[in-house]
Amino acid sequence: MSFKPLTSLRRGIGMFWRGLDATRRFVLNALFLVIVIALLVAIFGGGAKPLVSKTALVLELRGDLVEQHSGDLRDALLSNVGGETRRMIELRDLLVVLDAAAKDKHIGSVLLMLDELDGGGLAMLHEVGAAIDRVKAAGKPVVAWGGNFDQKRYLLASHASEVYVHPMGMVMIQGFGRHRNYYRDALDKVGVTVNLMKVGTFKSAAEPFISNGPSQASIEADTYLYGALWQGYTASIEKNRKLAPGAVAKSVDQLPQLMEAAGGSAAQVALNLKFVDGIKTRDEVRALMIKRGVYEESIKTFRQVSFGDYLARNPQKAFGDAVGVVVASGEIVDGQGGPGVVGGVSTANMIRRAREDDAVKALVLRVDSPGGSAYASELIRRELELTRAAGKPVVVSMGNVAASGGYWISMAADEVIADPSTITGSIGVFAILPTADKVADKLGVRTAGVTTTWLADAYNPLRPLDPRFGQLVQSSINNVYREFTTRAAAARKTTPAKIDEVGQGRVWTGAQAKERGLVDRLGSYGDALRSAAKRAKLGDDFRVAYVERPGSTFERLLSAIGVSAAQAMTIQVKLGMLPDAIPNAAVAGVAKDLGWLSELADGKKPFAAVTHCLCELP
C-alpha cells in the first residue's frame, strides 16, 4: 500500500509525457502539412498571376553557374538569409527557363543582366548560349547589359540580339592560360621531400611539388590545349557579333593604343570594336525595355517576370517513363560525397537506384570532374557497366572537365558526347609520398620502435622513404595505368597501345579528343538526353529524372512533384544575399595546393592511385 502514491505519480508522469509527445508530433505534422499545402497552391493553385503578352523575362544572374548545388536545400536557404555561401545557378534551371521562354507566347523578350554572374566553364556557357540562340530563333529579341563583361560573361552576351555596356564599364577579353605555383625550393627549405610515382610523360599534376617550373612536355601540351580553346572562343565571338576573323585577337594586341585613342574609355573601345551596340546606363536600358514592351503602373517599370518566378511556373514532369540523370560534378573521392563532390560509393549507389527504378529507361551521366581516386572511379564505372548489362542505355555527357578519373568514369557508355571545349583525356596515374625527415632532424625529433615486418612502418613521413616501399607503390601505379588503358581500349574499340599514344597523362579539348577517338561525337547536354531517349525508344516527350542523394523528407516530396531546390527557394523566400569576402587570390591558391598535397599524404592509403589532372578551365 505504501507504494501506491509512487506508482500513481509514475503513471501520471507517463501520461503527461505521452500527451506532450503526441502534441509535439501533431504540431510538427500540422506545420509540415501547412508548408506542403502552401507550396502546392503556389505551384498548381493559381497563386501567381498568369502572364500576359509582351512580358519580358529578366535574367539577373547572380552567383556561380554550376552543374549541381554544392549543398542541400537547407544550406541554400540559410545562404540566402545570412549570405554564408556563394549563390549558385544550376545549369539545368537556366536551360529550363530559356527553353520555356522560347515557346511561351506571353514572353516577348529577354533581358540578360550579367554583372553578378560568376564562374561557369566554357562548356556550360556554350549550353546557355545555344539556348539564347533558340530564344532568338523563336523571334524574341534578347538584350544583354552589363557594367563589366569579363570574357565568360561576354561569351554569353555575344549571343544576344543587342549588347549594351555601362559608360564606366568594359569588355575584358584576356585570353587563356595560367601560371602555376611551384614549390620545390620552398619544400627543400623547410626540409620536405616529395616522392612522386607516376605513369605518363604528360602527367603534370604533381609537377608543382617536385619542380621549380613546368616540364617541356607540360608546356607542349598546355600550348596545344590553350591554343585550341582560344581559337574556339574567338571564333564564337566573331560569329555571334559578325566580326572579321581575327578581330578579337587583334583587339587584344592593340588594346593600349585603342584605349589611348578612346581617351581611356574602355566602354568606348568596346563600342568602336563593335563588341557592343551601345553605351547605356541601367536606367537607360530600363527606358528602352519600357518603350519596346508595356509599362506596368503597379511596378513602375516594364512588364516583366524574374528568373526565379518564371522557373517556379515551369515545374518539370513528375511521372512517366524517364531518362535518369546522375550528375558527377567535383573531385572524385572514396566513400560518400554530397553535391559538389563525387563520392565513389554514393555515386555508385545513385546509378544503382536508377538501374533498379522501373520508370528510368535510360541513363545520362553528366560529368564535370578533374578526377581523383582511381578506386572510387572504378566503383562508378562498374555500376554503369552493370546498368548497360541490365539493358538500359547509358550516355555520357561531358561538361567543362571530364579528365583523368573523370574520363575513367566515362568508359562504360553506349555513347560519349563532349563539348568542343571540354577538357578531357589525361589518361595517367600518380601517387605522392612526402617525407619530412629533414624537418625532424632540424627539430631534433627522432623516431624509433619495433615492428614485426619492414612493411609495418614502411611509410613513416618522419623517415626517408624506404626504396622497397617506393617500388611497391610504383608497381601499383603501373598496374592501375594498365587497367586504365585496357579499359579505355575496350570502351573505344581499339588497342591499349593506341590509347597509350594519346594517353600518357595528356589533356585534350573535346574537339581534339574526337579527332583521336576518345569520344564519339561533339554535342550538347540536350543531345545526350535525346540520344538516351532515342536508344530507350521513349519518343520526343520524355521526362528527365535527376537521381540524386536521398535528402530530407521535404526535399524528397519536392522531387516527387517535380520541383527543384531553386524553385522551392523562390516560392518560400525572396531575400537578398550579403556579399562575400574575397580572399587574396595568391594566398588562396597556395593554400589550396598545399592543402591538396597534405590530403594525398594523410598516410591512410599509401597505395592509393590518383587519377587527377589538376586542370581547370581558364
**Cell 572514396 sits on residue:** 334
Compute, in degrees rounded to 10, the torsion defined by CA atoms 149, 419, 341, 485.
-140
Percent helix, strand, coil in the chain, to 5, is 45, 20, 35
Q: Which residues contact 233 (CB under 8 A, 6 or more apart)?
A: 122, 151, 155, 176, 248, 421
C-alpha 26/C-alpha 357 separation (Å) is: 33
C-alpha 338/C-alpha 379 separation (Å) is: 16
Report which residue type is found at 514.
K
404 noted as active-site residue: yes
Report which residue type is found at 298.
S
Compute, in degrees rounded to 10, the torsion defined by CA atoms 600, 601, 602, 605.
80
How many Cα atoms within 13 Å fall on the side-chain side of residue 372? 21
250 noted as active-site residue: no
Tell me the CA end-to-end span of the chain in Å, nearest whole number. Answer: 84
DSSP string, 376-442: HHHHHHHHHHHHHHTT--EEEEEEEEEETHHHHTTSS-SEEEE-TT-EEE---EEEEEEE-HHHHHH
C-alpha 323/C-alpha 269 separation (Å) is: 47
The alpha-helical segments, DSSP class H, found in 313-373 are 344-356
DSSP 243: P
Kindly name the residue from 211, 404, 426, 531 that is annotated as catalytic. Answer: 404
CB atoms within 10 A of CB 140: 18
How many Cα atoms within 13 Å fall on the side-chain side of residue 192? 17
272, three cell numbers:
568602336
Instruction: Please choose, from the candidates 315, 356, 308, 311, the residue with its C-alpha nearest in 3D space to the C-alpha of residue 547.
Output: 356
State whether residue 15 is helix, strand or coil: helix
**Which residues, in sequence order, are bridge partners of residue 363?**
324, 394
DSSP string, 472-533: HHHHHHHHHHHHHHHHHHHHHTS-HHHHHHH-TT-EEEHHHHHHTTSSSEE--HHHHHHHHH
The answer to whether 418 and 386 are in contact (CB under 8 A) is: no
Report which residue type is found at 382.
R
- Distances, alpha carbon 505 to alpha carbons 197, 206, 213, 485, 493, in Å: 13, 11, 18, 11, 20
Instruction: Please choose, from the candidates 175, 176, 179, 185, the residue with its C-alpha nearest in 3D space to the C-alpha of residue 218.
Output: 179
The answer to whether 378 and 548 are in contact (CB under 8 A) is: no
Q: What are phi and psi of 283, to 5 degrees?
A: -70, -30
**Which residues, in sequence order, are bridge partners of residue 117?**
63
Instruction: Please choose, from the candidates 309, 340, 316, the residue with its C-alpha nearest in 3D space to the C-alpha of residue 569.
Output: 309
Kindly name the residue from 140, 152, 198, 203 that is annotated as catalytic. Answer: 203
* Catalytic positions: 203, 404
